[in-house]
């Protein structure tokens, strides 16, 4: 079986920055186990598989090297980039997902791709798991949670940059991941974050579009503004443009082409 593969760096204007995603267009679904093997072989944060349903409407599934993921922003951006630039798709793309409903994407005049996500605002929790406290080198000021992750709010951007984590401890938070975040302190970004997912992805995720469906409404309420610019401060780093639009969260960013090739898959 021969499959086409694209690799795109998402949420960046430069190669080797942001977060890399593989995109594999399919005519029909292949077995789940085979998709997982391909994602493990690619060894990127996510491999997205997309299948057309009708004009401008596609089913999408995302796999990390470890497991299928129910919501991934950067691989959706990468998939949109591939469809807009290599499949001559025009206007709005609608992605059908298994877990979070439909997600749409449009290309803006400046080249950014803007995605519409469900609002996943986190809520304060009264009792924090001890594994979260023990798994971070800096004690958070506040802990929140949504369907995807725990949110650890830190005092400053410097703390976000400096924090260290213990994978073994954070694995105890499964099935939840963990994002650490703080108000921006560089004059360029409204808020910053880092994302750790040892259970579902293996370590620190370079740039996580999906978590901004929760970070954006949180910081919008704190900062009193609906449009925000975010930095995910991993080693590769990524810039995200975010906006609260009622029950939807708009997250946009640039993407850069890296690779197009063929996979020769012999089966399981």
Convert the pLDDT of each residue in 170-195 to its tens digit: 999 999 999 999 999 999 999 999 99
DSSP string covering 201-237: TSSEES--TTTHHHHHHHHHHHHT-SEEEEEE-SSS-
Domain ranges of the chain: 2-117+252-264, 123-246
User: Does the annotation mark 46 as catalytic?
Assistant: yes
Rounded mean pLDDT of 196-211?
92
Give the pLDDT confidence score for residue 199 in this predicted structure. Answer: 87
Of the candidates 8, 252, 210, 257, the one whose C-alpha atom is nearest the C-alpha of residue 113 is 252
Give the pLDDT confidence score for residue 266 in this predicted structure. Answer: 82
Contact 1, 266 (CB under 8 A): yes
DSSP string covering 50-114: EEEEETTEEEEEEE-SSSEES--SHHHHHHHHHHHHHS---S-EEEE-SSS-EEEEEE-TTS-EE
Rounded mean pLDDT of 28-41?
96
**Who wins on pLDDT, 150 or 55?**
150
Contact 77, 253 (CB under 8 A): yes
Q: The dihedral of CA 144, 149, 150, 153: what is its sign?
A: negative
pLDDT in tens, 71-121: 999 999 999 999 999 999 999 999 999 888 999 999 999 999 999 999 999
Pairing of strands 93-96, 68-69: unpaired
Rounded mean pLDDT of 12-33?
97
Token reading at 158: 């410097």
Omega of the bond leading into 193 within 30 degrees of 0 (cis): no
pLDDT in tens, 108-161: 999 999 999 999 999 999 889 999 999 999 999 999 999 999 999 999 999 999
Contacts by 157-164 with C-beta closer than 8 Å and gap 24+?
Answer: 157/182, 157/183, 157/184, 157/185, 157/186, 157/192, 157/233, 158/185, 160/192, 160/193, 160/194, 160/233, 161/192, 161/233, 162/137, 162/138, 163/136, 163/137, 163/138, 163/194, 164/136, 164/137
* Residue 136 DSSP code: B
Give the pLDDT confidence score for residue 200 in this predicted structure. Answer: 84
pLDDT in tens, 210-236: 999 999 999 999 999 999 999 999 999
Domain 123-246 annotated CATH 3.50.50.60: no
Rounded mean pLDDT of 59-74?
95
Could you say which architecture CATH assigns to the domain 2-117+252-264? Roll (3.10)
Give strand pairing partners of 263: 3
Give the three-state DSSP class for 13: coil
Give the pLDDT confidence score for residue 126 in this predicted structure. Answer: 87
CA–CA distance from 62 to each of 20, 22, 36, 67, 193 (Å)? 13, 10, 9, 9, 22
Choose the catalytic residue: 2, 13, 41, 46. Answer: 46
Confidence of residue 201 (pLDDT cuts 50, 70, 90): confident
Of the CA atoms within 13 Å of residue 19, those in its CB half-sphere come to 35
Domains 2-117+252-264 and 123-246 share a fold: yes
**Helix (H), strand (E) at residue 148:** none
């Amino acid at each position: 079986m021969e499959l086409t593969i694209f690799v795109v760096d998402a949420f960046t204007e430069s190669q080797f920055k942001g977060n890399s995603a593989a995109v594999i267009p399919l005519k029909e679904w292949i077995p789940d186990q085979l998709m997982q093997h391909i994602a493990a072989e690619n060894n990127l944060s996510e491999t997205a598989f997309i299948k057309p349903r009708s004009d401008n409407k596609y089913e999408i599934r995302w796999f990390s090297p470890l497991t299928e993921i129910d919501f991934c922003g950067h691989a959706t951006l990468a998939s949109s980039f591939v469809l807009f630039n290599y499949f001559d798709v025009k206007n709005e793309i609608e992605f059908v997902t298994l877990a979070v409903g439909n997600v749409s994407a449009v290309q803006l005049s400046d080249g950014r791709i803007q995605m519409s996500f469900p609002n996943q605002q986190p809520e304060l929790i009264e009792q924090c798991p001890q594994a979260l406290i023990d798994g971070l080198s800096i004690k958070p000021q506040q802990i929140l949670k949504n369907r995807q992750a725990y949110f650890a709010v830190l005092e400053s951007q410097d703390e976000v940059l400096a924090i260290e984590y213990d994978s073994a401890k954070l694995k105890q938070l499964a099935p939840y991941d963990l994002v650490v975040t703080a108000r921006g302190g560089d004059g360029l970004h409204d808020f910053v974050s880092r994302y750790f997912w040892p259970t579902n992805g293996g370590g620190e995720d370079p740039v996580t579009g999906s978590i901004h469906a929760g970070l954006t409404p949180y910081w919008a309420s704190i900062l009193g503004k609906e449009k925000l610019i975010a930095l995910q401060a991993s080693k590769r780093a990524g810039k995200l443009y975010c906006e609260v639009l009622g029950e939807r969260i708009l997250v946009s960013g640039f993407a850069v082409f890296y690779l197009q090739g063929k996979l020769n898959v012999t089966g399981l």
